């Protein structure tokens, strides 16, 4: 009798032990229908013993570390964060749930101490309307920070002509910047260069413009001449200040000297300095001042020949004193063309 009782007790203990073991086994198996195995890594995140909701929270936290760095001219740099964009993790395909269902919870004992790594697509959404306000508030779009581009141009200085370089500026179109940011975020880029994206409004004419460089060289060549006409007691000079008024730009953008304007200059010079046929005042040896008719005496400029000589000197960039070509000459080139040596005959 005692032996049977003892056997019953032992059997009860064994059955109880197995019931407990099976209960623990089933309890753990049930636990892993809701939780990932220890050592489970999803997208580099430690998801051991985590539920689907907890894994999704971890992924949500991980996507909030995303930043987009914006870079531009004048050392501009700003960062747009995932939080500013309103980033949200979306698991429309229930990828995390699929991973949990695939882990076979009743074989949990085979996975103890193991580490499993999984990669799953992380779908995110954000409020694209927020991008408009973010762009509007960027430092580069604030009043006082925007500089319009300016074309390079030719400027006359005290010593000649030179090219004033272009101003690149930093002006952009807000809508284009907004779209570029959206494209960068959608493609998971972490940096956006406004320069490389071609977002700036650039000048149309640069200082390296071949046509402009040629024009400056030509302008300086044409205006480097300095021709002096010396009339003893007065001088007339065709220098850079005068020559620049004679320059004309052709249809092809090349500069040349206007021959008609040079001829006008020579005509004016002849009108001011020629004495041929002029009536002049003459002081006699007795001290009287009389008026003499011009007759055929005096200086008379050959306008055509003088104009041609002057044009040639200008085109060659000469710096010299030039004498006009004369049809008639007199004794003295000063205003008193009779000079100090003459024969006086009184009738």
Residue 282: which H helix or E strand, with range?
strand 280-283
Q: Which of 14-18, 65-69, 133-137 has the lowest mean pLDDT?
A: 14-18
Percent residues over pLDDT 90 in the chain: 42
Q: What is the pLDDT of residues 174-207, one digit of tens each?
A: 999 999 999 998 888 999 999 999 999 999 999 9
Give yes or no for a contact between 239 and 226, defined as CB atoms under 8 angstroms apart: yes
d(CA 79, CA 71): 9
Instruction: Say whether pLDDT at 308 is over 90.
Output: yes
Q: What does the buried/exposed string (b/e) look like for 35-46 if buried means 16 or more CB atoms within 10 Å of the residue's CB?
A: bbbbbbebbeee
Q: Which of 131, 224, 227 is nearest to 183 (CA)?
A: 131
| pLDDT, the chain, mean | 86
pLDDT given for residue 250 in this prediction: 83
Q: Which of 162, 251, 170, 255 is nearest to 207 (CA)?
A: 162
Mean local confidence (pLDDT), 213-218: 90
Architecture of domain 210-328: Roll (3.10)
Mean local confidence (pLDDT), 164-172: 96
108: pLDDT confidence band, cut at 50, 70 and 90? confident
The reported pTM is 0.62
Mean local confidence (pLDDT), 257-277: 93
d(CA 296, CA 319): 34
Q: Which of 142, 139, 147 is nearest to 80 (CA)?
A: 139
d(CA 157, CA 223): 12
d(CA 117, CA 36): 12
70: pLDDT confidence band, cut at 50, 70 and 90? very high
pLDDT given for residue 121 in this prediction: 67
Mean local confidence (pLDDT), 32-37: 82
């Amino acid at each position: 009798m005692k032996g049977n009782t003892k056997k019953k007790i032992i059997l009860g203990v064994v059955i109880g032990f197995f019931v407990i073991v099976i209960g623990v086994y089933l309890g753990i198996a049930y636990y892993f229908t809701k939780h990932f195995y220890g050592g489970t890594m999803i997208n580099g995140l430690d998801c051991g013993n985590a539920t689907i909701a907890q894994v999704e929270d971890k992924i949500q936290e991980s996507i909030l570390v995303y930043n987009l760095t914006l870079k531009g001219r004048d050392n501009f740099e700003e960062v747009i964060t995932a939080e500013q964009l309103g980033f949200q993790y979306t698991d429309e395909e229930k990828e995390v749930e699929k991973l949990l269902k695939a882990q076979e919870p009743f074989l949990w004992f085979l996975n103890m101490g193991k580490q499993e790594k999984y990669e799953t697509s992380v779908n995110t959404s954000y409020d694209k309307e927020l991008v408009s306000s973010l762009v509007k508030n960027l430092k580069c779009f604030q009043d006082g920070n925007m500089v319009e581009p300016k074309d390079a141009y030719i400027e006359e200085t005290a010593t000649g002509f030179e090219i004033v370089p272009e101003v690149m500026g930093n002006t952009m179109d807000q809508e284009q910047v907004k779209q570029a940011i959206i494209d960068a975020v959608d493609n998971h880029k972490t940096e956006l260069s406004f320069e490389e994206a071609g977002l700036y409004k650039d000048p149309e004419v640069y200082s390296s413009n071949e046509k402009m460089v040629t024009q400056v060289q030509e302008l300086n060549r044409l205006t480097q001449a300095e021709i002096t006409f010396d009339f003893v007691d007065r001088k007339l000079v065709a220098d850079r200040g005068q020559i620049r008024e004679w320059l004309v730009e052709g249809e092809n953008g090349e500069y040349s000297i206007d021959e008609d304007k040079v001829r006008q200059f020579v005509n004016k010079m002849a009108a001011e300095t020629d004495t041929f046929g002029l009536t002049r005042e003459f002081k006699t040896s007795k001290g009287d001042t009389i008026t003499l008719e011009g007759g055929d005496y005096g200086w008379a400029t050959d306008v055509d020949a003088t104009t041609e000589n002057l044009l040639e000197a200008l085109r060659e960039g000469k710096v010299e004193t030039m004498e006009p070509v004369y049809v008639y000459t007199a004794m003295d080139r000063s205003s008193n063309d009779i000079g100090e040596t003459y024969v006086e005959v009184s009738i």
